[in-house]
Structure 1
Amino acid sequence: MTAPTKTRRAKKSAPYLAQLDPRELVAHPTNLRTKLGDLTELRASIAASGVLQALTVVPEDGGMRIVAGHRRAAAAAEAIEAGEWPDGTPTTVPCLVRPDMEGLAPSQVVAMLIENDQRADLTESERANGYAQLELFGLDVAEIARRTGRTQVHVKSALKLKTLGDVATEAADSGKLTLEDVAALEEFEDDPKAMERILKGVESGWGVRHRVQEEKRKREDKSATETLTEELTAAGVRVFKKPKDWPWNCQMAKVEDLVDADDQPLDVEALKTVEGFGAVIEGSYGNMRAVIVCEDPEAHGYKRTKWTQYKSPAAKVAEELKKREAEERRQKLADAGEVRRRFLVEKWGSAKAAKALLVDAMRAAVVMPGFFDRCEEEMVAALAGGDPRDGQTAGIDRLNRLLVARFVAAHEVNTATVAAGRYSNREHLVLPWLDRLVAEGYELSEAEQGWHAELVEEEAERQRAMEEEDAEAALEYDDAEGYVDDAEGVRPIEDVHLPEGDVEPAAEPDADAEPEEAEPEAEVDPCPEADLDAAEPDAKGDE
């Protein structure tokens, strides 16, 4: 065995370099990296060239404990044991010995965090475990952030990850959940089922954000329902569970939609506490309301004033189911719309990013100026980074960015309008817009994926209809309208093309005519294709 060789040493507590046998080094008991991974390539490299970067070790319990370099030490030890170490070369590796860290467990953990993050990143759970160890040593979030060079928000999110359970930890380690998303999941840590619904099957942070938005809406609806239930119960009103086929295909009916035998409306306030009457809570997105209902209107001799399927439910169950699914899809598309708007601002909400859409925005402004009329000013402001009304005094760069912001906002309004099931004369723009977002990195929600498939099918059907219409119209032309018959059927008459520029052919010159005075040549635009990006920045500093 080769004895350790010290190469430089100063004070007793000062760090110094030493050559140590890697087989005698002791792994740190709280090593953050739980898996060393495949050491084959590293072992071959060390056997050929040695360890080029010193390990960091601390004198502990009569030996040397590794703080940084566990993989290098393990690979070197394997190479020695396998007989791969070069002949005549000491079986040692360079080590930076840190007596100043002896007995200072927090400093050792901080060193491991920093050293590993400068190499292959730790997993989120490994990093969280390191922060948790530092907490146990009495360091608060601010001190951990200071020592590791991270932000306090980052440290808080990493520590919070440890409380969210195995499903969240696995998603974070696989890269499907960022620490930014961890903060959004914090409000669901008391609801494991909601957490599982959010994280199940997602492929990226955008998928998590879609699910979070849906769960937030459900939680808001549940909270509003509980509040209304308490208020109604305190007032002596019985609260019914909303029937499965409410309100158009069930026995129960709203009192406001009933009349008595004399066709007189009923007194809702007088009946709400009477036996056989009560309330049902309906609505969504926090807009919950209580409606007073009668359990069995026909038994009381009341007549319904609103259309109902109650008398023939079997024949119309399928239609009602379709309506409910459509409403649920609209709600999910509305949830997705909130996430999609954030994507648009992140993607094109800077002056540099907006340039990528400038030509398309200009073309839309020329070809269909009315498209910009319905864009939301709030979204324009978010995309343009300021008041959209400052175009009166803006320079060229600012105007370009405002134009792109209105272009994107107009597309989003058009997309949201069609998603909500409302009419838009530019519905055909939705499919290519969604395709563009996907190409730019946006992940469609489950509801958007289904909607996108329908749009693709509708577009294909529209194209087929247009082709059939064109074919039928072509067959209706007679000989005088552009077609002649030949032996093989109908063939089109070829059009006569004018010279380029649609100019009339020049007349033959008259030999006896006096020459006309030449017209002065038109001035040539010195900058036919000016570089808009080279314009002077405006006073507001758009860049």
Structure 2
Amino acid sequence: MAPAIKVRSPKKKAPYLAQIDPRDLLAHPKNLRTQLGDLTELRASIAAYGVWQALTVIPEDDGYRVVAGHRRAAAAKEALKAGEWPEGLSPTVPCLVRPDLVGLAPEQIVAMLVENDQRVDLTESERAAGYAQLELFGLDVAEIARRTGRPTQHVQSALKLTKLGAAATAAADAGRLSLEDVAELAEFEDDPKTMEKILKDVGSSWGIKHKVQEERRKRQVKEAVAAVTAELEAAGVKIVKRPKEWPYNCQMARVDQLETADGEKIDPEAVKTLDGYAAVIEERWDSAGSFVVCLDPEAHGYKRTGHSYYKSPAEIAAKEAADKAKEDLRARLKESAAVRRRFLVEKYGSAKGAKTLLVDAMRFAVVWPDFLQYRVDGELIKELAGGVLTDGLTAGQDRLNRLLVARLIGAQEHNVEQVADGRWVAHKDLIVLWLNRLEEDGYELSEAEADMRAALIAAEEERKRAEAEEEAEELAYEAELAAEEADGDEGDGDQEVVDVQLPEEDVDPGPCAEADLAPNDAEQPENQGDE
């Protein structure tokens, strides 16, 4: 190891600078930074240029104890061990040696606090501006990345940030926009209004991801509408807007829902360019299409076949709105699911991340294993656990933990997907708990997910209310029956019982009215039975 190179001071206890081999440095037992974090970028920077900022150390026995600079010391040791030290530089780090702090534990802690508090990192926009200046000096992305010790993707995203305007840089500096999001925002560089809409009123990077997904879908639909419009115009087809009352309370109707007076169908392709016909363009959740309409079916003598039962205009409008709301919610939930999946993989798709849900997964496996039998997405399992469920036959403990957690996540997501698609499931109550758990772990619910959770909570409350009413009615009915039975028992106790003795022989009932006799019994001839 290289000996320390000192710049001596005339005073015995005065601080002095020295170049010290980082392998001779000892960690401070009272270090305030309990986790050194990821040293990859710092190590790459030291491998390129060495350590520029001096560490603060105190002499101790034959070595030195680090007061401030533990991360730099650790990264330097790693670089030396890996043989990545800059060529031509001495394998030492600059240190400010503080003999005056020896034996003064409180002052050492104060030094740690002051050293960290006085250091402020560059903002994202400041760092991006620095990369842009290096680019002006002729350095390409790869060279900037090499010289700064940053990943190439990081540099590319930072350079894109400089072109996205003030709103984007402000969001990045505030921590609401990550450099990962910058790459996605770049596609809206030519649309400042959309960029502003995406960045407005979002609390975190995940909120931006939701809005990017939404705006991307809107752009996709807009482009699809433009393509359908161009195709219809090229064919000479008139284009009309869909009326507000469509389709149950307006004059025009779809051609494929009409027939002639003789009951014959009409070919939309044969009539679409004729007078009295047009096309309506409809937006779908991620695409667009069109259909041909007759502007006045009755004038052509057509009969409508599109509606076989009658509803009032108000009922029809209400159903149309409800169906549209459900379809829109399903579409928005699909968008949210794509973002939520990315969160799941990022949050739980590692051995460390899986531990967050391991106890929950074990609890399901022991108490409720049938729930884990839900159909799960094999690709999601691969992304979360790095393999397939059958790997559990030979997997070790860590991989088994990841597979079990992945199975729980797959079952929970399948449960959510069924409800999002409007299907009946037996475990709706678990969805609220699942979304709450994700929110606790740092996920920001989209508006659609929050609406779904609120609807499920309201439905559960309504179910409990109806159940309580039914139980109350049943109890009231039972009480009423009990009261009637009690009243009957009291009446039977007051009534006198009379014992009646029936005669052993027939008794002449006495004279009776002729009306009581059978018709053939009245005024029979005397000799009728003596023949």
Which range, TM-score by smaller chain?
0.5 to 0.7
1:230-269 correspondence runs (5 A): 230-269=230-269
1:325 aligns to 2:325 (yes or no):
yes
**2:364–2:371 contact (8 Å) kept in structure 1:** no
Structure 2 letter corresponding to 1:167: A
Q: Which residue is equivalent to 1:303?
A: 303
CA gap of 1:183–1:250, structure 2 versus 1, over 3 A, is farther
1:327-346 correspondence runs (5 A): 327-346=327-346
Q: Which residue is equivalent to 1:101?
A: none
Deviation at 1:180, TM superposition (A): 0.7
Deviation at 1:234, TM superposition (A): 2.5
Q: Partners in 2 of 1:201 and 1:425 — Cα distance? A: 36
Deviation at 1:307, TM superposition (A): 2.2
Q: Which runs of 5+ in 2 are unaligned?
A: 1-6, 9-16, 18-52, 55-95, 97-115, 487-531
Does 369-378 or 426-435 show the bigger shift? Answer: 369-378
Q: Which residue is equivalent to 2:382?
A: 381
Residue 203 of structure 2 aligns to a residue whose secondary structure is coil
CA gap of 1:217–1:308, structure 2 versus 1, over 3 A, is farther
CA gap of 1:250–1:348, structure 2 versus 1, over 3 A, is farther
1:208 aligns to 2:194 (yes or no):
no
CA gap of 1:235–1:190, structure 2 versus 1, over 3 A, is same
CA gap of 1:194–1:353, structure 2 versus 1, over 3 A, is same
**2:254–2:292 contact (8 Å) kept in structure 1:** yes
Q: Which residue is equivalent to 1:437?
A: 438
Structure 2 letter corresponding to 1:274: L
Q: Partners in 2 of 1:229 and 1:339 — Cα distance? A: 31
Q: Which residue is equivalent to 1:92?
A: none
**1:309–1:316 contact (8 Å) kept in structure 2:** no
1:85-484 correspondence runs (5 A): 119-307=119-307, 313=313, 316-365=316-365, 366-471=367-472
Structure 1 letter corresponding to 2:175: G
Q: Partners in 2 of 1:155 and 1:249 — Cα distance? A: 58
**2:428–2:456 contact (8 Å) kept in structure 1:** no
CA gap of 1:249–1:216, structure 2 versus 1, over 3 A, is farther
Q: Partners in 2 of 1:311 and 1:295 — Cα distance? A: 22
Q: Partners in 1 of 2:311 and 2:236 — Cα distance? A: 31
Q: Which runs of 5+ in 1 are unaligned?
A: 1-6, 9-16, 18-52, 55-95, 97-115, 486-543
Q: Partners in 2 of 1:141 and 1:381 — Cα distance? A: 32
Deviation at 1:261, TM superposition (A): 1.6
Q: Which residue is equivalent to 2:99?
A: none
1:4-19 correspondence runs (5 A): none
Q: Partners in 1 of 2:312 and 2:276 — Cα distance? A: 23
In the superposition, the TM-score normalised over structure 1's length comes to 0.62
CA gap of 1:157–1:416, structure 2 versus 1, over 3 A, is same
Deviation at 1:472, TM superposition (A): 5.0
Query: What's the CA shift string for 1:45-96, capped at 9, x where partnerless?
Result: xxxxxxxx89xxxxxxxxxxxxxxxxxxxxxxxxxxxxxxxxxxxxxxxxx9
Query: What's the CA shift string for 1:195-215, capped at 9, x where partnerless?
Result: 122111000000000011111
In the superposition, the TM-score normalised over structure 2's length comes to 0.63
1:42-121 correspondence runs (5 A): 119-121=119-121
**1:220–1:285 contact (8 Å) kept in structure 2:** no
CA gap of 1:146–1:243, structure 2 versus 1, over 3 A, is farther
CA gap of 1:425–1:314, structure 2 versus 1, over 3 A, is closer
Structure 2 letter corresponding to 1:173: D
Residue 410 of structure 1 aligns to a residue whose secondary structure is helix
Q: Partners in 1 of 2:214 and 2:235 — Cα distance? A: 32
Query: What's the CA shift string for 1:473-496, capped at 9, x where partnerless?
Result: 556668xx9xxx9xxxxxxxxxxx
CA gap of 1:380–1:148, structure 2 versus 1, over 3 A, is same
**1:376–1:409 contact (8 Å) kept in structure 2:** yes
Residue 211 of structure 2 aligns to a residue whose secondary structure is helix
Deviation at 1:127, TM superposition (A): 1.5
CA gap of 1:251–1:426, structure 2 versus 1, over 3 A, is farther
Q: Partners in 1 of 2:169 and 2:308 — Cα distance? A: 50
CA gap of 1:153–1:454, structure 2 versus 1, over 3 A, is same
RMSD over equivalenced CA pairs, Å: 3.4
**1:124–1:158 contact (8 Å) kept in structure 2:** yes
Q: Partners in 1 of 2:461 and 2:162 — Cα distance? A: 49
**1:198–1:212 contact (8 Å) kept in structure 2:** yes
CA gap of 1:402–1:315, structure 2 versus 1, over 3 A, is closer
Residue 426 of structure 2 aligns to a residue whose secondary structure is coil
Q: Partners in 2 of 1:392 and 1:250 — Cα distance? A: 64
Greater helix fraction, Structure 1 or Structure 2: 2
Structure 1 letter corresponding to 2:188: F
Query: What's the CA shift string for 1:383-436, capped at 9, x where partnerless?
Result: 221233434444454344323212111111111221232211221211111111
**1:247–1:253 contact (8 Å) kept in structure 2:** yes
Structure 2 letter corresponding to 1:209: K
CA gap of 1:180–1:139, structure 2 versus 1, over 3 A, is same
Which structure is larger by alpha-carbon Rg, 1 or 2?
2
**1:168–1:177 contact (8 Å) kept in structure 2:** yes
Q: Partners in 2 of 1:203 and 1:308 — Cα distance? A: 49
Q: How many pairs align?
A: 374
